[in-house]
Amino acid sequence: MRFALDESHEDFASSIDALLTKSDMPQVIRAWNSGDTAPGLQVWERLAETGVNGLLVAEEHDGLGADAVDLVVAVEQLGRHAVPGPVVETVAVAPVLLAAVAPERLGPLAAGSLATVAMLPHAPYAVDAHVADLALHVADGTVSMGTAGDTRESVDRSRTLASLTVGESLGSTDTAAAFDIGVLASAAQLQGLGRTLLDTTVEYAQQRKQFGRAIGSFQAVKHHLAEVAVALEMARPLLHGAAIAVRDELSTASRDVSAAKVACGDAAYLAARTALQVHGAIGYTQEYDLSLWITKVRALVTAWGTPDEHRARVVAALESEAS
């Protein structure tokens, strides 16, 4: 099995990266945190023009008809730039759910609408329902329209969590595929966040001086950064392998996405901890851009299933395969 991305994937990733680099994402995120979502929604409009929103929407509904590998390529870039809003729900989960129960509603997603999803029991709260054009409530295989109710704060100030009141039923389906694609997209988002945290910390370590030397020249700092780099690189094949398993509808897909979520989550969390340690006290401040990435990692590590739940899922699958 070949895990290397081809040229078209690299070009797609580069185009998203270039768009977001020009968008001054730290300022966009801070505006979103303060309640001004207009700059963030403008970013989403530009992303929709690249086809990101319609990746998993069939061509007959004006989407790209792409697959899980393309999804991972795109969402990793959205993670690298810490794009605010319901990323996983809009780009991954909602298209799969609607394709199964209400394909006539897919067109607006491909055109740039945002969607949020509450899927019981693993993702009980809808992310950023206040900006979503569509809210879906999923329980016991039934997909329904939802209306935002009580909200909760997240450690990531760019995420608002809301319970959904169940509305019109759209139909029933096996929601396992939608959950798996949500887990996969969440893993890709974490991988991107971890990579930015590593790159930012390496750059800081090369510039920050103590005792007349860049702190990046100290052996202990080198070791910490190397551990993060290794963790991220070890997680990447699991992420790409899971994308291929989902794309090809392999029997191991659920196990593989859980393994990817654990590996990417652990790597991103290590990147966040190391970034704080290397940056010192400045890393804790809300005024410093690093905090925007660190808090998002903390929130996403437990999104779409906790690490313990996914480890248990992997173990159960391996035991079943061995019996």
C-alpha closest to that of 290 among 188, 199, 181: 199
Least confident of 69-73, 114-118, 165-169, 216-220: 216-220
Q: Tokens 């659920």 map to which residue?
A: 254
Token representation of residue 114: 């945002």
- CA pair distance 294, 229, nearest whole angstrom: 16
- Provide the pLDDT for residue 211: 73
Whole-model pTM: value is: 0.95
Q: 41-100 pLDDT, tens per residue?
A: 999 999 999 999 999 999 999 999 999 999 999 999 999 999 999 999 999 999 999 999
The answer to whether 55 and 78 are in contact (CB under 8 A) is: no
Band of residue 289 on the pLDDT scale cut at 50, 70, 90: very high
What's the rounded mean pLDDT across residues 281-289? 80
- Residues 222-254 pLDDT 10s: 899 999 999 999 999 999 999 999 999 999 999
Cα 51 off chain centre by: 17
- Using the structure block, give the residue that is written with the tokens 């969402």: 75
Name the class of domain 7-174: mainly alpha
CB < 8 Å & 24+ apart, contacts of 204-213: 204/278, 204/279, 205/278
Q: How confident is the model at residue 206 (pLDDT cuts 50, 70, 90)?
A: confident
- Quote the tokens at residue 260: 């990817």
Q: What's 123's DSSP letter?
A: B
pLDDT confidence bin for 180, thresholds 50/70/90: very high
| Strand 126-127 versus strand 160-172 pairing type | antiparallel
> Per-residue confidence at 127, pLDDT binned at 50, 70, 90?
very high
Quote the tokens at residue 217: 């020249």
Sketch the domain layout of the chain as residue ranges: 7-174, 177-322
Confidence of residue 285 (pLDDT cuts 50, 70, 90): confident
- What is the per-residue pLDDT for 207? 78
Task: Output the CATH code of domain 177-322.
Answer: 1.20.140.10
Count Cβ atoms within 10 A of the Cβ of residue 261 and give its class: 0-12 exposed, 13-18 middle, 19 or more buried: buried
Task: Report the distance separating Cα 53 and Cα 177, nearest Å.
Answer: 18
Burial group, residue 166, by CB count within 10 angstroms (0-12, 13-18, 19+):
middle
Is pLDDT above 80 for 214?
no
Residue 209 has what pLDDT?
64
Q: pLDDT at residue 164 above 70?
A: yes
Residue type, 94: A
Element containing residue 142 per DSSP (H, E): strand 142-153
Q: Output the pLDDT for position 115.
A: 98
- Return the closest-CA partner of residue 203 out of 82, 291, 267, 290: 290
Interval 16-37: pLDDT, tens:
999 999 999 999 999 999 999 9
Residue 122 to residue 183: CA distance in whole angstroms: 10
